Structure formats: C-alpha cells, structure tokens
Amino acid sequence: MDSCGILALFEKVYGRSEGAEAFFAPGRVNLIGEHTDYNGGHVLPCALTFGTYIAARRRTDGWVRCFSGNYPETGVVRFELEEMANDPRHGWANYPKGVVRVFRDNGFPVDSGLDMVVRGDMPSGAGLSSSASIEMATAVMLSSLFSLGLEDEEGRVRMALLCKDVENGFIGVNSGIMDQFAVALGRAGTALFLDCATLERRYVPVDLGEYDIVVMNTNKSRMLVESKYNERRSECEQALADLRRAGAPISSLCDLSAGEFFGWEDAVADPVCRRRARHAVLENGRVLAAVDALTSGRIDDFGRLLNESHLSLQFDYETTGRELDCLAELSWQREECLGARMTGAGFGGAALAVVRRDGAAEFIRFVGERYGRYIGYDCAFYRSV
C-alpha cells in the first residue's frame, strides 16, 4: 500500500527504504449523533477513503525519528524511548509519541526505536478526525512491527481504547470514544452504529440510492475548540448531577428517552445546561431513527433528521457558528439536497450534505460560490465516503 508515495518519502528522508513497511488508518465523518458519545449515547460514523499513511522500520537503538510530509518545516523530530513526555516543541509528533508511550505503559513490548514518516491526504483541523487517524495508523504500525497481535477485531478495539487514552491523557483533549472507534473499525460502504455506553456495535449499510454524501470543510481555523468542547462536557455533567439529585435513575444523560427527559427537565436548574441536556437526549433518539430510516431505505427521513440535528446543535448545543450555519442553510436551499448538518465537534470544521448525484456538481458550485461571498474565504468539498 503506497498510494500516498509514503515509501518514496521514507527513502527521501532516511536514504533507503529496505525493510520499511507502509500502514494506513482512515479519517471519519459522523453521519449523526453529535456530542452524544460522552453522554452515554449512540453515534453513527463512517470511515473515509482518505486518512493517514505511515512508513516505518525498526531501529536497533532506543531512538524514535519521525518526519511528516504535511509539516516538513518541523524537520525530523527525535526522541528516546526513555524520554516520552509531551513536548509542545514536537507539535504533530506528540501523536505518534503518545501512542508509543501509552503502548509501553500498558506493557506492550515496544522495545526498540523506529524511523517513521507520516503523510495524511486528509485536511487536518476539519473535524474529520485527523488526530484519531494518525494515532490509529501509529498503533497499527506498532502492532505489526513489534508483533503485538492486535490485528483482529478484539485487538482493534483494544487499540482504539489505547488511542483514546493517548488523546485524553497525553495530548490533553477530553474527547469521547467515537473517533477512535470509527477509524479502528470503519468498513467500506457502512456506518458504525455504536452504543458508547456499552460499546455494543453493528454495521449499518449506507445505501443512499441516487444520493451521495458531500463533505464540506468550512476552512475556519478552529480556535478555542478544546476549551469550548470541555465547557459543553461540564454543562452536561452539571445537568446529569441535577437530574440524579432529583432522583432520576440514570448514569448518563442518554439513559433518558425524550419523553422521560421532558418529565424530569425542570430538575436542571440552569437553563443553558437544560438545553445542552435536551440536545444530547433528542440527538440520541435521532440516531436510532436514522438507523431505522437507512435500513428501510427512507432516505428523505434520514435527510430530515440531519437537518433537525443541525438545528439542535445550532440553538440548544451552540456548537455551530456562522460558517457551519452558512453551509447548512445554503445546502437547505437546494432541491437536490435532502439534508445537511455540521459534523464532528463543531466550532468550525466540517458539515455534510446528502445530495442527488446528478445535481452534485451544481450543488457544489452554488454553495461554494455563495459561501465565499458571504464568509470572505472559500470552503472545500470532498466526496470520499
């Protein structure tokens, strides 16, 4: 596998590529179920055809050398297996470093250094999980080069959980489990229907007939995503604490059905926290409805659920912002579009639309031209699911 010229890049950086092997992990787009994963709810992500490529070879000493074709200005980053703290000067290389560290901390025999190069063919910072993708590509590489035996389904689940530990403990982002599961277990032509409370999952075929999924990147630089994300998490925790104090027999917000939530909602004292909780509970219901719509071929119902999801994220969860709202509202104006919503954490990043294939070129022209005019810079489109 060398579709990104990854072995050629290895040779360019380290002189020769004998013994180097190539690995890949995809990015993901979440069809529906946003900000439900850390609330014990369901999600429905798809793996993308683009993602992160790594070429790597073991060394005989304890040095790890990494180079990224996407950030050549950082040069070759070097660190020793015994010196594995997060280092802000190492930038992107903290992701592979964190994976090596967490694997070693968990007793996996990663007992020699490595030379590696990385190149992603996906936009980073677009809310399509470039970070989970580089973490997983590193994990897959370690499993193969150090014979860790994590290639089967159970091993991939283990790798996803370890990569989540990297994100939470080493990188310092308090994300849920969706992204790592999507990139570890995604399969072509299907979405992963995951219950984030129990990790039970199944694959749902994504057969949209004459429709395609178009991914739209706002190209907005994602400042403050982490602090806003953590703020939403604590608002949900506050709502959960209020509900439990009032006697609701739940361990996470998504244990409530919509009807139950409306019975209990007055127990949430702060109106902002109440709206956050309402989003989580209703969004979880929309995931179940979306799976039902997809499995019974009701594509227009699926599209409508996407629109409802966006509106809920816009008004109750407040994670959209001008650029994502602009993409959704322009999409909704087009008759060839069945539905559109933001995807991922929000606050910039990407949106997706379900668009009739024969109208997709015109859709892209219309949305692209007006977005540039209203926002002042261009968005980008991908058809890669």
Q: Which residues are catalytic?
A: 179
- How many binding residues for ligand GLA (CB under 6 A)? 10
Smallest separation, CB 262 to ligand GLA (Å) = 23
Beta-bridged to residue 190, according to DSSP, are 205
Which residue's CB is nearer to ligand GLA, number 30 or number 68? 30
**Choices 88-96, 108-116, 143-151, 170-178 (CB under 6 A): range interacting with ligand GLA:** 170-178
Q: Does 178 bind ligand GLA (CB under 6 A)?
A: yes
Alpha-carbon span 60 to 241, nearest angstrom:
52
Q: Interacting stretch for ligand GLA, rule CB under 6 A, among 75-83, 173-181, 185-193, 254-262?
A: 173-181
The minimum distance between CB 270 and ligand GLA, in angstroms, equals 21
- The answer to whether residue 345 forms part of the interface with ligand GLA (CB under 6 A) is yes
Between 34 and 115, CB nearer to ligand GLA? 34
Q: Is 181 in the site for ligand GLA (CB under 6 A)?
A: no
Shortest reach from residue 70's CB to ligand GLA, in Å: 20
| CA geometry: angle 342, 347, 353, nearest 5 deg | 15
Residue 25 β-bridge partners: 52
Q: How far is the CB of 272 from ligand GLA (least distance, A)?
A: 18
Residue from the set 26, 176, 186, 348 that interacts with ligand GLA by CB under 6 A: 176
- Name the segment binding ligand GLA (CB under 6 A); options: 101-109, 174-182, 304-312, 360-368: 174-182
> Residue 361 contacts by C-beta under 8 Å, 6 or more apart in sequence?
none
Write down the least CB distance from residue 114 to ligand GLA, Å: 26
Provide the residue count of the chain: 385
Task: Give the nearest distance from C-beta 246 to ligand GLA in angstroms.
Answer: 26
Nearer to ligand GLA, 51 or 344 (CB): 344
Site for ligand GLA in 27-46 (CB under 6 A): 34-35, 37-38
- DSSP for 29-81, written as a single string: EE-S-TT-GGGT-EE-EEEEEEEEEEEEEE-SSSEEEEEESS-GGG--EEEET
Termini Cα distance of the chain: 19
Coil, strand or helix at 215: strand
The nearer residue to ligand GLA, 141 or 178, going by C-beta atoms, is: 178
d(CA 9, CA 55): 8
Return the residue of 66, 344, 350, 356 that touches ligand GLA, per CB under 6 A.
344
* Closest CB to ligand GLA among residues 344, 348: 344
* CB of 36 closer than 8 Å to CB of 94: no
Q: How many CB atoms lie within 10 A of CB 211?
A: 22
3-state secondary structure of 217: strand
Question: Of residues 94, 143, 175, 252, which one binds ligand GLA by CB under 6 A?
Answer: 175
DSSP-assigned states of every residue in 331-373: HHT-TTEEEEEEESS-SSSEEEEEEEGGGHHHHHHHHHHHHHH
Cβ contact 165:102 at 8 Å: yes
Q: Are 105 and 84 in contact (CB under 8 A)?
A: no
Among residue numbers 250 through 289, which ones bind ligand GLA (CB under 6 A)?
Answer: none
223/233 Cα distance (integer angstroms): 17
Nearer to ligand GLA, 7 or 289 (CB): 289
Contact positions vs ligand GLA (CB under 6 A): 34-35, 37-38, 175-176, 178-179, 344-345
